[in-house]
Amino acid sequence: MPLRQSAGAAILELEELTMLDLSGKVALITGASRGIGASTAIRLAQAGAAMVLSARSADPLRSLVSRIEGAGGRAVAVPCDVTAYADVERAVGAAVKTFGRLDILVNNAGLIEPIARLADSEPAAWSHVIDVNVKGVYHGLRAAIPVMVAQGGGVVVNISSGAATSALEGWSQYCSSKAAVLMLTRCADKEYRGAGLRLVGLSPGTVATDMQVAIKASGLNPVSQLDPSAHIPAEWAAEAIAWLCTEAGAPYAGTDFSLKTEEGRRLVGLVPTVAA
């Protein structure tokens, strides 16, 4: 049975949505203003975590804070550009100052544009993708790890991609950056597993966000040819991230957990149900 978000025969439901318990935890998400990050902010708050929401755009973060607080949760917005270490350090500091600790970091901020073959690429724009996708993740790790080590534990979920291990035309900056993120996950796991930290990646498959709109517009490589119905909703990626933050995620430390496979989706609780 195809696992896809479609109005056709197969409908996927989140099983036991309220069963993930992150109460008492404090989580920081980068790139929380839209897409996977915004859905993850809502899901982790539903599971009981206090949230620190960061991205460059302040207005959507404030709206999310209102939504979470309106539902009885706790959240603060800390506008932040992940390419600036001082910004990321400030966001980690805000978690500690506001909520007393930092248990979860979701290194989610990322971009793919501009999509172009190497000879057509613009050097500054190519480098900017590396700054956000690679250095942004490094900045998160660098700022959060000392806090988590001092606490005796914590979870970091780095948002990876199938592009970490597959070459695609026009995506040299993105594939290179996600390969680097996978290696950051592996190195950080090697260095800090013994200190009680769980460092894990998530490869979500294609997700229906603004990023896929940009990919489709590029017309380059097979991903741009996918029908939008092939993409999973951001809520599924959020469910996987929340699940990886629980003890269920422990066996996947130091790896990219894949949500592209039926097995991965079943583990997370995304269960296919045939509509009547």
- Where on the chain is the footprint of ligand NAP (CB under 6 A)? 30-31, 33-37, 55-57, 80-83, 108-111, 132, 159, 161, 204, 206-207, 209-212
Residue with tokens 């979920």: 157
User: What tokens appear for 135 in the block?
Assistant: 């250095």
Amino acid at 64: L
Q: Smaller CB distance to ligand NAP: residue 142 or 195? A: 142
Q: Smaller CB distance to ligand NAP: residue 154 or 205? A: 205
Name the minimum Å distance from CB 158 to ligand NAP: 9
Q: Smaller CB distance to ligand NAP: residue 26 or 106? A: 106
Name the minimum Å distance from CB 225 to ligand NAP: 14
User: What tokens appear for 201 in the block?
Assistant: 């990646």
Beta bridge partners of 10: 274
DSSP assignment, residue 115? P
Residue 85 annotated in active site? no
Name the minimum Å distance from CB 245 to ligand NAP: 16
Beta bridge partners of 233: none
Name the minimum Å distance from CB 201 to ligand NAP: 10
Q: Smaller CB distance to ligand NAP: residue 189 or 235? A: 235
DSSP assignment, residue 110? -
Instruction: Describe the crossing of helices 35-46 and 58-70 by its angle, rounded to 10 degrees.
Output: 20
Q: Smaller CB distance to ligand NAP: residue 29 or 50? A: 29
Whole-angstrom distance, CA of residue 162 vs CA of residue 176: 11
Q: Of 186, 195, 196, 197, whose CA–CA distance to 156 is shortest?
A: 197
Residue with tokens 């003890």: 247
The strand ranges marked E within the chain are 10-14, 26-29, 50-53, 75-77, 104-107, 154-159, 197-203, 256-258, 270-274
In the set 85, 138, 174, 252, the catalytic residue is: 174
- The 3-state DSSP class for residue 28 equals strand
Active site residues: 174
